[in-house]
Structure 1
């Protein structure tokens, strides 16, 4: 299969980075990507968790947030936790992906694409464990200005969660996050590797030098972000609502269906896809560039 041969050619030229540099490079890439995407993410979370009576459209949410709360207090409310979380998340994603792929490289029964799928699923599952508490605090902060009496700072919000539900309360929405990250990890890494391999294979030398151009890395990263967000968005909506309303997975799904039907699972998809392009392009480009240094 031509697609598979492209991946094999690409991967055979690039040794897996050691774990320490995966952690460092992934952390830097994740923090940069989160800074770019955060204003978009705030709008997305508000659309997912608030009814259409408050925000009938994406632009109504943007206008409301800007007019009532301004740029920093509105769009960047609670960014400290997500930046730290994105650094940890991407460190875990890249180190677990590469370590799993390195282990599978010893096996001859797996095709190149199968290795990517298994490694992506493993990386996403690992990331979900560290991502759930971070996103819980992030989501609560992003809607805190809409609800009177809710903490609007990171530490008070964490204390509030601990007082209400204990330590395990920080993992409220873990099932939604696991579903999202497991399938999202497969989609994210597979799309990136396939697109990168395809673009590299188009070079005059057939990609023999193993070097992707800047635009190829950016396009591959942007494509991965689009595929990831488009494929797992209903799970992300469930996760956001579970964390802000403190309800279970099935109760949350039934509530969304009762209130808004199937379309309720896709509120905020447009702004999410818009944010995915620059953020994921920067994440993969930064990681690849740092890895080559």
Structure 2
């Protein structure tokens, strides 16, 4: 929980930029006059000009709840599952297959637990000025009254489909990279170990995010369904009847590149957030144990 809390503050601006890119129908190019955002630096400057510095932390409260809740459930489930696997299977707790399966199952449990908060975070990050939702309570009440309780679980299907391999790859690649670094680099002091955790975690995050990125984009598009009126100032809007319809429309109108909109800020975020989460996790564990 503590590792997720610290990390979220640092990566929130990248998250806001990523979500804006993912929801933009127009091509992310300066050659497209209808595109609001063209690239990371241009998007950062435009958001700052139009909405101010605080815009980069829109949805920060639900994002913190998301990070703390997700991190706590994920790591608790992961530790429990790896111990169980060690006791009931012939594989050791540090085996890459054990890390892949246990990491994926732990992430599925965490995702189901925090999906409503994730939807709220996306709505806050997606809205411009003037705001549609003025507070977390206002957002919850408005969404429940106008769209019903199931709106909080929009985008759950692509999330579950993607989260198992994403988290599985994340934990297994982290484990592989840790073992590789121990083989290549001699054992060092505590400070060197923390840097190693940061680098291995960052690399694991980049690999995992790239392999599963399109499903994160599908999730974001579905999460803003029923929220189209608040997106009118950002350009074109689309309505999707479900995951398959979302995939078909993106492929038809935006091409294969549409599945990877926002990948650059997403990879920066994945490298920083995953690296920092593992860094703080290992550090806090060493302090507490």
Settle same-fold status: TM greater than 0.5. Answer: yes
Q: Which residue of 2 aligns with 1:286?
A: 280
Matched-pair contact (CA < 8 Å) for 1:47–1:267: yes
Pair 1:212–1:57, CA change in 2 (3 A): closer
Instruction: Output the CA distance in 2 between the equivalents of 1:251 and 1:150.
Output: 27
Deviations 1:102-151 (A, max 9, x none): 100013444622211110111111121023211111111111116x6622
Please give the secondary structure, in 1, of the residue aligned with 2:161: helix
Matching residue of 1:50: 24
Q: 1:109 to 1:54 in 2, by over 3 A?
A: same
Aligned pairs for 1:84-103 within 5 A: 84-103=65-84
> Which 10-residue stretch deviates more, 163-172 or 40-49?
163-172
The answer on 1:234 being equivalent to 2:214 is yes
Q: Secondary structure at the match of 2:88?
A: coil
Q: Structure 1's 211 and 196: CA in aligned 2 closer, same or farther, altered over 3 A?
A: farther
1:261 offset after TM fit, Å?
A: 1.0
Residue pair 2:18, 2:266 contacting (<8 A) in 1 also:
yes
What TM-score does the superposition give when structure 2 sets the normalisation length?
Answer: 0.85
Aligned positions of 1:129-278 closer than 5 A: 129-145=112-128, 150-204=132-186, 213-246=193-226, 247=240, 248-278=242-272
Quote the offset at 1:286 in angstroms: 0.6
Q: Matched residues in 1 for 2:80 and 2:162: separation? A: 21
1:117 lines up with 2:100 in the alignment: yes
Q: CA deviation at 1:219?
A: 0.5
The Cα shift of 1:158 comes to 1.3
**1:78 aligned to which of 59, 63, 76:** 59
CA-to-aligned-CA distance 1:154-181 (integer Å, 9 cap, x gap): 2211112211232222111110211221
List alignment gaps of at least 5 residues for structure 2. Answer: 27-34, 227-239
* Further displaced range: 171-180 or 81-90: 171-180
Q: SS of the counterpart of 1:68? A: helix
> Could you list the per-position Cα deviations for residues 217-255 of structure 1 after superposition, in whole angstroms to 9, with x for gaps in the alignment?
110111122122211110000000000125421121122
Confirm or deny: 8 A CA contact 2:194 2:282 kept in the other structure: no
Tell me: CA distance 1:142–1:108, structure 2 relative to 1, closer, same or farther (3 Å): closer
Aligned length: 263
Task: Please provide the CA RMSD for this pair.
Answer: 2.1
The alpha carbon displacement at 1:273 in A equals 1.0
The aligned counterpart of 1:59 is 41
How far is 1:212 from its partner?
6.6
Name segments (4+ residues, structure 1) moved above 4 Å. Answer: 209-212
Q: Aligned partners of 2:46 and 2:191: how far apart in 1?
A: 46
Alpha-carbon shift at residue 278 of structure 1 (Å): 2.2
Query: Tell me, what secondary structure is at the counterpart of 2:224?
Result: helix
Contact residue 200 and residue 210 of structure 1 kept, 8 A: no
Unaligned runs of 5+ in 1: 1-26
Deviation at 1:92, TM superposition (A): 1.0
